Amino acid sequence: MSTIRIYVPGDAAAVACGADDIARTIGDLAARKNVAVQIIRNGSRGMHWLEPMLEVATGDGRIAYGPVEAGDVEGVFEAMLANGGEHKLRVGKPEDHPFMKKQTRLTFARCGIVDPRSLEDYCAHGGYRGLNKALAKPANIVAEVTQSGLRGRGGAGFPTGIKWKTVADTKAEQKYIVCNADEGDSGTFADRMIMEGDPFVLIEGMTIAGIAVGATKGYIYIRSEYPHAIDVMNDAIAAGRRGGVLGDKVCGSSYAFDLEVRVGAGAYVCGEETALLDSLEGKRGQVRAKPPLPAHKGLFGKPTVINNVLSLATVPIIMDKGAEFYKNFGMGRSRGTMPIQLAGNLNYGGLFETAFGITLGELVDEIGGGCFTGRPVKAVQVGGPLGAYFPRALFDTPFDYEAFAAKDGLIGHGGIVVFDDSVDMAKQARFAMEFCAVESCGKCTPCRIGSTRGVETVDRIMKGIERDKNLEVLTDLCNTMKFGSLCALGGFTPYPVMSALTHFPEDFGASPRLEAAE
């Protein structure tokens, strides 16, 4: 009898739903029935409402079942033994599911498909084609990335090629590639999914970056709350060294590049690149004044490329398919695809990768299926805890950096959190100020003091104490933080506060006079 391959996600989202116990139960069932089974702990496909979603390999492709609970395992296992037979939890082929068919998967093309710890499986699914093409013409890498229009996926949207060229043109004996995997925004999980489900695409992207700018060493900075990602990344790096894609002679070439995982303590401000660099150096994570830029004087005072996970993981696709291929997706200056993370009060939460240009309304109402509670959507926060709250009146806004900026919003890392009509937006504004106060590194006054005063001011508004005057104080305070803070933590906190005040004044009890003045 041939061995049956069963895929049980090792992704943290599935593990949180009991995937580890399910994998053990399947192993026990196979032993009891004397059936040869290979259990592969793959990443998640991103349909989180179906997790744990199990798959079995058949002659006609992989058949999925989900969400599988402990009491369902035996029945699902029997259906799997029947060549992907019928069961009430049968999903069918994952790629045929409407949620997947509407996507354009480039960065996440292999996520949920490959064994994340297997270099051989990664290569069998097109891995390292980008690096091999880069090695054939290393002088063209920066130009190719620049022409693709790739921008930073960590939030700022800065052109990746410009950053790389700056480091490449800076003379130094040692340069570094740093991956910012300090994913701390609410409703975001794309970085984690890549690291847990397709770690070699990140390794390949960082290696290409190293060759492009002349760096021989890279660091992946991961927050301690991601133990599964840390484990998988370390295993993948070790496999890369064994396989010759990392080390003194990358893929047999004259280029050297090696990687190391560093674990952060979970400070939100360390998602800011200079605070991250301080933390990497063993210091307290505090924001550095610029200039000098990290591209000139970064990690240990050396020229450093620091990019987000998704930015670096997209580079292999660009080098393999070409800049024009990637640039053909998207709109305006927002080129390529964006892995959008749907979270909060939604029926269908998960990861949805698509070209820039899809509207916020389509993402929330059609892809996400509206509120899980069945109540109307009141507000959608895009871009993490420092992102603006958009009402339904702005649902026609296309997912594009400039389009969101024009509406006083941020795309950020692509996280979307949905709230129904039971939410109190004054409380959400207070939370934004409190979050900033707790997470501030304390280096600059507008962020350190302004956020604390902001909490106090919102409290007075919510208690009805001189409401109109305090609304004016809050507006002025937000303006000071926005333009006076040293980094985006204090500078972006006004976005959720002012958007809540602007679009939902009734939750603040604003008087008609103040509303007219605004």
Q: Which residues are CB-neighbours of 234 under 8 A, at least 6 positions away?
A: 261
Same domain, 172 and 245: yes
Range of the domain at 476: 425-517
Same domain, 249 and 127: yes
Same domain, 277 and 408: no
Beta strands 176-181 and 217-223, pairing class: parallel
DSSP state of 289: P
Beta strand ranges found along 192-257 (DSSP E): 217-223
Answer whether residue 305 shows pLDDT above 80: yes
Contact 201, 313 (CB under 8 A): yes
Mean pLDDT of 457-463: 91
Same domain, 444 and 306: no
For residue 350, list its beta bridge partners: 47, 342
Distance CA 99, CA 486 (A): 41
Same domain, 251 and 347: no
Query: HSE on the CB side for 2, CA within 13 Å?
Result: 8
pLDDT (tens digit per residue) in 353-390: 999 999 999 999 999 999 999 999 999 999 988 899 99
Contact 449, 470 (CB under 8 A): no
pLDDT at residue number 510:
60
pLDDT band at 407 (very low <50, low <70, confident <90, very high): very high
Mean pLDDT of 337-355: 97
Same domain, 188 and 312: yes
For residue 62, list its beta bridge partners: 57
CATH of the domain at 29: 3.40.30.10
DSSP state of 363: I
Same domain, 283 and 345: no
Same domain, 133 and 262: yes
Same domain, 317 and 441: no
Q: Collapse the DSSP code of 188 into the 3-class scheme (helix H, G, I; strand E, B; otherwise coil) and give the result.
A: coil
pLDDT at residue number 154:
75
pLDDT band at 511 (very low <50, low <70, confident <90, very high): low
Contact 49, 350 (CB under 8 A): yes
Contact 250, 211 (CB under 8 A): yes
pLDDT at residue number 86:
94
pLDDT at residue number 490:
84
Alpha carbon separation from 231 to 127, 253, 338 (Å, rounded): 21, 28, 26
Answer whether residue 293 shows pLDDT above 50: yes
Instruction: Check residues 257 and 155 and name the one with the higher pLDDT.
Output: 257
Say if 112 falls within a structural domain: no
Same domain, 471 and 482: yes
Contact 181, 199 (CB under 8 A): no
Q: Which residues are CB-neighbours of 76 under 8 A, at least 6 positions away?
A: 54, 65, 68, 87, 89
Distance CA 504, CA 485 (A): 26
Reading the block at residue 73, the tokens are 């395992």
**Number of domains observed in the structure of the chain:** 4
pLDDT band at 401 (very low <50, low <70, confident <90, very high): very high
Contact 412, 386 (CB under 8 A): yes
Mean pLDDT of 403-421: 93
Q: Collapse the DSSP code of 494 into the 3-class scheme (helix H, G, I; strand E, B; otherwise coil) and give the result.
A: helix
Answer whether residue 256 shows pLDDT above 80: yes
Mean pLDDT of 257-263: 97
**Phi and psi dihedrals of 207, rounded to 5?**
-65, -45
Q: Which residues are CB-neighbours of 301 under 8 A, at least 6 positions away?
A: none
CATH of the domain at 378: 3.10.20.600
DSSP state of 49: G
Same domain, 268 and 343: no
pLDDT at residue number 1:
59
